C-alpha cells in the first residue's frame, strides 16, 4: 500500500517529468550522432540526413513516447515493484495516539520518506527512497506506521507536542494540500502556524528509524 501511494503521489509524477526533461536536454541528443541510426536513416530514405535532421527526428520520437500515458504507467509499475521490494526489507512499527489527542494529517503525499537531518522530503527534493532516514504514513486518524531498519516496539503517543511534530512532517512533505478530520482542523491550523517551533529533533529517536 505504501509503495502504491509513493508512485501515485503528485511529487512522484513531477519527479518523473523532471527526469524526462533532463534526459531530453542532456542525453537524448546523443542518439542523433549514433552511426547506426544514421545508417538506418540512409537505408530507409535513400539519402544521408540533412544537418539537424537526425536530432529533430530523435526529439520528435522521444516526445511522442513521453506523451503516451503508458510511459508514466510503465514507470510507476517498475518503481512500485522496486519500492515494494525495498520496503519489504524493513520492519514495521505501529504508532498510535492516546485518546483525546488530535489525529494524524494526511497530505497529497500520503507516505513521507525524508532525510530529516538535511530537511529533505521525498521526490520533491530529489530524495531516493533508499536514502531516507524516516518513512511514515497514516493508516487511520489515530494510527500510523513507520518502516524501520531494526525491529522497534509499538509506540503510544501521549503528548500533543509529539503529535504536532509528526504532523509537521506531513505538512512539510505535502506539495499543496493536506486533509484531516473536521474535529482536528483547529489543531492543524495551530500546528501549521508554528512549524518553525516543531523541529524534527523533538522526536524520540528510539523509534521511527
Q: So what's the pLDDT on residue 204?
A: 59
Q: So what's the pLDDT on residue 209?
A: 45
| Contact status, residue 13 vs residue 72, Cβ threshold 8 Å | yes
Q: So what's the pLDDT on residue 189?
A: 96
Question: Which long-range contacts does 171-174 make (Cβ < 8 Å, 24+ apart)?
Answer: 171/105, 171/107, 171/195, 172/119, 172/121, 173/107, 173/109, 173/112, 173/114, 173/121, 173/122, 173/124, 174/107, 174/108, 174/109
End-to-end CA distance of the chain: 19
Query: Binning pLDDT at 50, 70 and 90, where does residue 25 land?
Result: confident
The residue behind cell 522497534 is 152
Q: So what's the pLDDT on residue 24?
A: 85
- The DSSP string of 136-156 is EEESSSSEEEEEESS----EE
Q: Is the pLDDT of residue 207 over 60?
A: no
| Contact status, residue 196 vs residue 135, Cβ threshold 8 Å | no
172: Cβ contacts below 8 Å, ≥ 6 apart: 119, 121, 195
Q: So what's the pLDDT on residue 208?
A: 53
Compute the average pLDDT of residues 191-209: 78
SS3 69: helix
β-pairing verdict for 91-97 and 155-157? parallel
Report if pTM > 0.85.
no
Closest-CA residue to 159 (of 95, 208, 110): 95
Q: So what's the pLDDT on residue 11?
A: 85
How does pLDDT run across 146-193, given as a tens digit for each residue?
998 888 899 999 999 999 999 999 999 999 999 999 999 999 999 999
How does pLDDT run across 30-79, given as a tens digit for each residue?
877 888 888 888 898 899 888 888 888 888 888 888 888 888 888 889 88
Q: So what's the pLDDT on residue 106?
A: 95
How does pLDDT run across 92-148, given as a tens digit for each residue?
999 999 999 999 999 998 999 999 888 999 999 999 898 998 999 999 999 999 998
Compute the average pLDDT of residues 195-207: 77
Grid coordinates belonging to 100: 483525546
Amino acid at each position: 500500500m505504501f509503495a502504491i501511494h509513493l508512485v501515485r503521489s503528485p511529487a512522484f509524477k513531477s519527479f518523473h517529468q523532471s527526469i524526462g526533461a533532463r534526459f531530453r536536454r542532456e542525453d537524448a541528443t546523443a542518439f542523433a550522432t549514433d552511426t547506426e541510426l544514421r545508417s538506418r536513416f540512409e537505408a530507409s530514405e535513400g539519402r544521408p540526413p540533412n544537418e539537424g535532421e537526425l536530432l529533430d527526428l530523435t526529439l520528435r520520437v522521444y516526445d511522442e513516447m513521453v506523451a503516451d500515458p503508458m510511459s508514466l504507467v510503465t514507470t510507476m509499475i517498475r518503481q512500485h515493484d522496486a519500492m515494494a521490494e525495498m520496503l519489504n526489507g524493513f520492519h514495521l512499527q505501529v504508532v498510535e495516539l492516546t485518546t483525546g489527542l488530535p489525529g494524524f494529517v494526511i497530505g497529497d503525499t500520503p507516505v513521507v520518506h525524508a532525510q530529516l537531518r538535511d530537511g529533505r522530503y521525498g521526490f520533491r527534493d530529489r530524495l531516493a527512497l533508499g536514502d531516507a532516514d524516516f518513512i511514515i504514513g497514516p493508516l487511520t486518524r489515530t494510527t500510523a506506521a513507520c518502516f524501520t531498519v531494526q525491529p522497534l516496539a509499538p509506540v503510544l503517543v501521549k503528548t500533543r507536542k509529539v503529535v504536532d511534530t509528526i504532523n509537521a512532517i506531513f505538512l512539510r512533505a505535502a506539495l499543496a494540500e493536506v486533509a484531516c478530520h473536521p474535529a482536528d482542523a483547529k489543531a492543524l491550523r495551530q500546528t501549521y502556524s508554528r512549524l518553525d517551533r516543531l523541529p524534527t529533533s523533538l522526536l524520540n529517536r528510539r523509534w521511527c528509524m
